[in-house]
Amino acid sequence: QVRLVESGGGLVQTGGSLRLSCAASGRTFSLSTMGWFRQAPGKEREFVAAISWSGGSTYYADSVKGRFTMSRDNAKNAVYLHMNSLKPEDTAVYYCGARKGSTAGYDYWGQGTQVTVSS
């Protein structure tokens, strides 16, 4: 199976930056896509960004375009989310997800890391 461990969350001020990391271990050969999702209090989990392992193509939610950048390091089996110009509305638990190419949706999830942006 696959284990995902997020790190890098914390408390920052509006306009600040953070870099989230997600380390994957286990049967990572099965994975095709990695993604970041977030869930704020009282809201549903929403898509933030995704990247393909093979080609590195990235996709972003409209709310984070121009501010967040996702990257990958295949050698380390890790993906990152560089977050700039953070806003209070970015406050949420951020989850790393992984999916197999043969399935729809995401198959594995990390436990999440808290990001809090204060004004």
Burial class (CB in 10 A: 0-12, 13-18, 19+), 76: exposed
pLDDT for 60 equals 98
Whether residue 35 has pLDDT greater than 90: yes
Question: Tens of pLDDT along 72-103?
Answer: 999 999 999 999 999 999 999 999 999 998 66
- How far is the C-alpha of 5 from the C-alpha of 7, rounded, in Å? 7
Smallest Cα–Cα separation from 93: which of 65, 62, 71, 117? 117
Report the length, in residues, of the chain: 119
Q: Which one-letter DSSP state was computed for residue 17?
A: -
- How far is the C-alpha of 55 from the C-alpha of 43, rounded, in Å? 32
Average pLDDT, stretch 27-49?
95
